[in-house]
Amino acid sequence: MFLSDNTAPACPEVLNYLQQYVQNSVDHPYGGDQLTSKLNDIVSNIFEREVMVFPVLSGTASNCLALAAMCPSTGAVITHRNSHLSVDENTAPHFFTGGAALHQIGGGADTISPEELSRFCAKRPWRDVHSAVPRVLTITQATELGRIYSTEHLQELGAIARHYDMRVFIDGARFANALIQQNVSPSAAVMPSGASAMTLGAIKNGTFGAEALVLFEPELFPVVRQKAKQTGHLASKMRYLSAQLHAYFKDGLWLNNARAANSAAKQLSGLLNANPHCELAIESDTNQIFVRMPDALHQHLQDAGFDIYPWHVEDQACFRLVTNWATSNDHIDAFANALRSY
């Protein structure tokens, strides 16, 4: 139940929108349809600037299509050593980019500090043919530990990236959850970094098979489209992906869903914090919780039907619990009962 936010069902609003607007429609293929075209206006209004949107089936494809458009095969992508891109994307970043390197940095558990980015860049042999030159800085918002880069932090990182002629990419798989916690506009949360592109995650937060790759530099769009075709990610009936995103953004559904997930996480954190057998490993800002508990308690929760991942936080063995938009009071009450019965 708390294994991942990918276990959540699709929102009824998303399924209803498909049934109402798409099921019996006939339109152009490969993104030439009206729903896909209108996505640009919808997301441009959200970010208060002109953007291009490319709907994709998965977060991996979204991340790696962006990197492929921003980084040449002879270049490198700077990313945190514990980022999803570093740890959980197999060799997809190398495959999509045609061989670009990953430079993994980060002394902290989940964020890149301006000081260490500056130090790393200052030591790079920028004109040495024997070294892959960094072309892209990636930032995960919220991080793999559920924490948030402040706007000031993003501004500092973006300034360093621009100084070294790098683009910035934001992996926003849980961007909506970060946005709710920050209580700022999407534009204010992204623009300080000077990002060229970002993924605006949706599958974890209500859709069933659509992510939004948002391009703040429209000239990247044709490159993304070509790469999508090459890698098998140019959907022939893209309107079915776009329709999910229409419903996702309509009437603030994406923010309401993230708000519900974050709120459920706070309740769950309170239960765990009050339990004498548990200790929160880190203060998370969003819908992921990291806790230390005895293996026997973990097994007890597993037996009660609560699958949760073992995780490491700063080399300490922990467990991760993730809430989602559909986490209910009944789910939390059942978990509380399981904790009490240990």
pLDDT, residue 269, reads: 97
pLDDT at 127 exceeding the cut of 90? no
- Contact status, residue 234 vs residue 55, Cβ threshold 8 Å: no
Question: What does the pLDDT average to over 81-100?
Answer: 96
How are beta strands 167-172 and 197-200 bridged, if at all?
parallel
| Tokens describing residue 140 | 């995960």
Question: What does the pLDDT average to over 310-325?
Answer: 94
| Tokens describing residue 284 | 């998370």
- Contact status, residue 62 vs residue 68, Cβ threshold 8 Å: no
State the average pLDDT for the chain.
Answer: 96
Q: What is the DSSP annotation of 99-125?
A: S-EEEEE-SSSS---HHHHHHHHHTS-
pLDDT, residue 93, reads: 97
pLDDT at 266 exceeding the cut of 90? yes
For residue 209, give the DSSP letter.
Answer: S
Question: What does the pLDDT average to over 295-303?
Answer: 96
Percent of the residues in the chain that have a pLDDT greater than 90, as a whole number: 95
How are beta strands 52-56 and 309-313 bridged, if at all?
unpaired
pLDDT, residue 1, reads: 84
Please tell me the distance from the alpha carbon of residue 175 to that of residue 86, in angstroms, as a whole number: 18
pLDDT, residue 5, reads: 94
pLDDT at 22 exceeding the cut of 90? no
pLDDT at 303 exceeding the cut of 90? yes
Question: What does the pLDDT average to over 72-87?
Answer: 96
Question: What does the pLDDT average to over 193-221?
Answer: 97
Question: What does the pLDDT average to over 236-248?
Answer: 97
- Contact status, residue 218 vs residue 19, Cβ threshold 8 Å: no
- Contact status, residue 138 vs residue 112, Cβ threshold 8 Å: no
The residue ranges of DSSP E strands in the chain, in sequence order, are: 52-56, 75-80, 101-105, 133-140, 167-172, 197-200, 211-215, 279-280, 288-292, 309-313, 316-322
pLDDT, residue 49, reads: 96
pTM over 0.85: yes
Percent of the residues in the chain that have a pLDDT greater than 70, as a whole number: 100
Question: What does the pLDDT average to over 116-140?
Answer: 94
Residue 289: left (phi > 0), alpha (psi -120 to 50), or beta?
beta
pLDDT, residue 25, reads: 83
Confidence of residue 21 (pLDDT cuts 50, 70, 90): confident
Query: Which domains does the chain possess?
Result: 10-252 (3.40.640.10), 254-340 (3.90.1150.10)
Neighbours of 122 (CB within 10 A): 10
Question: What does the pLDDT average to over 86-94?
Answer: 96
Question: What does the pLDDT average to over 270-292?
Answer: 96
pLDDT at 24 exceeding the cut of 90? no
Confidence of residue 205 (pLDDT cuts 50, 70, 90): very high
Check the CA dihedral 267-270-274-275 and report its sign. positive
Which residues, including other chains, have CB under 8 Å from residue 17's CB and lie 6 or more apart?
A: 243, 244, 246, 247, 250
pLDDT at 315 exceeding the cut of 90? no
- Contact status, residue 139 vs residue 198, Cβ threshold 8 Å: no
- Contact status, residue 35 vs residue 242, Cβ threshold 8 Å: yes
pLDDT at 314 exceeding the cut of 90? no
Question: What does the pLDDT average to over 113-137?
Answer: 94
pLDDT, residue 159, reads: 98
Question: What is the tens place of the pLDDT at every residue in 141-182?
Answer: 999 999 999 999 999 999 999 999 999 999 999 999 999 999
What separation in angstroms does the CA of 332 have from each of 27, 49, 167, 289, 318? 44, 40, 42, 14, 20
pLDDT at 60 exceeding the cut of 90? yes
